[in-house]
Structure 1
Amino acid sequence: MISYIFDGSFAGLLCCIFRAYAFKERQRLKDGQLRIYCEKDFQPELFAQGLGAWGSDEQGLNEQGLDDQGRLAEEITIISNDANAKRVWTALCQKTSGNFSRQFYFSYLSEQAATFQHLFELACYVFDHQDAVHANYGHPAVLAVTQMAKSVSREKHRMEAFVRFKKTSEGIYFAVISPDFNVLPLIAPHFKRRYADQHWLIYDEKRQYGLFYDLKQVHEVQLSSEANKSMIEQARLTASSITLDAQEALYDQLWKDYFKSTNIVERKNLKLHIQQVPRRYWKYLSEKN
């Protein structure tokens, strides 16, 4: 039993695949005996319980964390290497077709521990076969990755629809989001095209980073916890006195009046409304506050 521990980056995940074949560890281990973990999710004490939900019998481990040959599970820290990651990604794209690369990357952005393992298994499944097998939905990894990619894509579209900007006194439009998945890299092209003539900042409060557009390029930014709290609760960009534009409250009220005037009370369907606009998004919608 071997556990790969990577830094959580996309390159790190690809380097796990590179390591498995470069050291022939994939070939000499049984199925399910090579596990992938992100640093933030890895907990060595789980070995005593057979790696949690996966079960000790499934992994060939007993209650003491030993494999069927009485050896302790080996932990290997994977160092991200851009060159190795590029080799794996290029090879994957060459052996597949269609929107495989899109689904693979979308699934990675889910940040789910189980999905990291599915992505690893899917890549190995592709490399282990000469034929194009990436569309074989009978394989559990192919199906799991496809389903997760759809969930991430759905979250991406919702963020593009539900983001609400507020203008600061310095002319920067900002919005705070908290998506289920890390979709900021996916929604950046949409807002760059739609608001090409405006400075804007979209900040993910859950992951503590944001994207800032300076009219030319999109830059990744990070704010301190105090600044982030100030931005969310007091509508400020930093801990300093950068406040909202004087007319922002008027525009906010105008939008609420428009929303109210277009609403048909007699046709109100709260159940359907919640399906289309889940409650977790309401705190960022002006018409809901």
Structure 2
Amino acid sequence: MSADAMLEPLGNVAYVHDGTTEGLLSAIFQAYALHEQPEDFSSKAGLQPRLGQSVRYIETDAALASRVKAGIVRKAGRDAWDAVLHASLSDDPSAGVVVYRFVRHVMARPAAANAGLIRNMAHPIAGPVARLNRSVMNERHLMLQFLRFEHFENGIWFAKCNPKANVVPLLMGWFAGRFNTERFVIYDEVHQVAGIYDGANWYIAQTDEVHLPQHSDEEAAMQAAWKGFYDAMAISARYHPELRRQFIPKRLWRNIVELHDEVADGNAKSALPAVAIPSGRRL
């Protein structure tokens, strides 16, 4: 799209970004700069234009995204920014528009009027952001509980997950703080995102496959011991499969070692993705 076309305001328009939080914030900045009110914000993968709708492809600009973040914090506080960040990681197709409407709302009001707004679940603008925030944080909590790491012969710890939101960026700081001397990878097979910690720093990489070495010598024994402990602690008289599915969603079972035998398709040990660590870095 030409620079002249970018300067021409459009009516029925969808903004398409790279699917990251920075990409969404860059798109919101451009909506202000172009005096447009897009009806949709979407990643390229999720784009479904409406009939007669124009599409703008927005380049991610970290500086512009930072300015939008600073404006949200200034106008609505840190809690509001955290909610926006988390909402932007949701898989809900409306997440981009929900965040955009909230940003427009708080930017148009004095900061004092926005105090506590993000906690008002009944508010027509803030409520949807708050609900997305809660949903994403609930998914993060599930991953914190049920991630299972496996040890490989080069010292890498690896965990695979299948969350309903792009929560790996919200997991890395927590695990890096607790395993600060260990190198590990958390791979999200749904969003094709790898969180990589090299023993000092962590970063996020987009990748559709992960190449791993062989398991360490003791890994099979440790998995068997953990499974044995899990089975030994079970109380048959209190077996309640419906309650277990309520607390441990069945979609997670294939990545939980103690539940491999109960995966419905009989695939007790699904093959690990063959993690090519991107960016030329080796772990």
TM-score (norm: length of structure 2): 0.80
SS at match of 1:99: helix
Q: Does 1:178 align with 2:178?
A: no
Query: Structure 2 vs 1, CA of residues 188 and 257 (structure 1 numbering), >3 Å: closer, same or farther?
Result: same
Shift of 1:146: 0.7
SS in 2 for 1:253: helix
How far residue 221 of structure 1 moved from its aligned partner, in angstroms, is 4.3
Aligned match of 1:42 in 41, 47, 52? 47
State the aligned residue count. Answer: 245
2:114 is aligned with 1:132: yes
Corresponding position of 1:279? 250
Counterpart of 2:135 in structure 1 is: 151
Among 244, 248, 254, the alignment partner of 2:215 is 244
Cα offset for 1:257? 1.2
Asked whether 1:97 is paired with 2:77, we answer yes
Matches within 5 A, 1:255-274: 255-274=226-245
Write the letter of the residue equivalent to 1:220.
I
| Separation of aligned partners in 1, 2:128 and 2:96 | 11
- What letter corresponds to residue 275 of structure 1 in structure 2? Q
- CA change 1:219–1:82 in 2 (3 A) is closer
**Ranges of 4+ aligned residues in structure 1 off by more than 4 Å:** 221-224
Counterpart residue identity of residue 255, structure 2: Y
Matched to 1:81, the amino acid is D
Q: In the TM superposition, what is the alpha-carbon distance from 1:87 to its structure 2 partner?
A: 1.4
In structure 2, what is the equivalent of residue 4 of structure 1? Answer: 15
Provide the C-alpha distance between the structure 2 equivalents of 1:87 and 1:185, rounded to a whole number of angstroms. 21
SS at match of 2:41: strand
Q: Which runs of 5+ in 2 are unaligned?
A: 1-11, 261-283
Contact 2:15/2:57 (8 A) holds in 1: yes
2:67 is the counterpart of 1:87 = yes
SS of structure 2 residue aligned to 1:243: coil
CA distance in 2, matches of 1:207, 1:21: 29
* Residue 90 (structure 2) pairs with residue 110 (structure 1): yes
Look up the equivalent residue of 1:249 and give its one-letter code: A
Deviation at 1:40, TM superposition (A): 1.8
1:38, 1:113 within 8 Å by CA — same for their partners in 2? no
Distance 1:124 1:224, change over 3 A: closer
Matching residue within 162, 165, 169 for 2:153? 169
Conservation of the 8 A alpha-carbon contact between 2:139 and 2:164: yes
Instruction: Give me the whole-angstrom Cα distance separating, in 2, the residues matched to 1:220 and 1:97.
Output: 26
- Residue 275 (structure 2) aligns with: none
Q: Aligned pair in 2 of structure 1 residues 111, 254: CA closer, same or farther (>3 Å)?
A: same
Cα deviation for residue 98 of structure 1 reads 5.1
2:165 corresponds to 1:194:
no
In structure 1, the residue matched to 2:102 is 122
Report SS of the residue matched to 1:8: coil
Letter in 2 for 1:153: M
User: Alpha-carbon deviation of 1:222?
Assistant: 5.4
Per-residue CA distance 1:17-47 (angstroms, 9 max, x = gap): 2222223334xxxxxx643232222234x31
Deviates more, 1:211-220 or 1:151-160: 211-220
Distance 1:223 1:37 in 2: 20
Q: In structure 2, do the counterparts of structure 1 residues 129 and 84 end up closer, same or farther at CA, with 3 Å as the change threshold?
A: same
Shift in Å, 1:224: 5.7
Any conservation in 1 of the 2:185–2:197 contact (CA below 8 Å)? Answer: yes
**3-state SS of 2:71 partner:** helix
- Aligned 1:207-226 pairs, distance under 5 A: 207-221=191-205, 225=209
Q: Residue 203 of structure 1 corresponds to which residue in structure 2? A: 187
Which amino acid counterpart does residue 2 of structure 1 have in structure 2?
Answer: V
Q: Is the 8 A contact 1:177 1:284 kept in 2?
A: yes
Q: Percent identity among equivalent residues? A: 27
Inter-partner Cα distance in structure 2 for 1:121 and 1:221: 29
Alpha-carbon displacement from aligned partner over 1:183-218 (angstroms, at most 9, x marks no partner)? 100011111122222221111112223122221111
Q: Distance in 2 between matches of 1:252 and 1:137?
A: 43
- CA 1:177/1:122 → structure 2, altered by over 3 Å: closer, same or farther? same
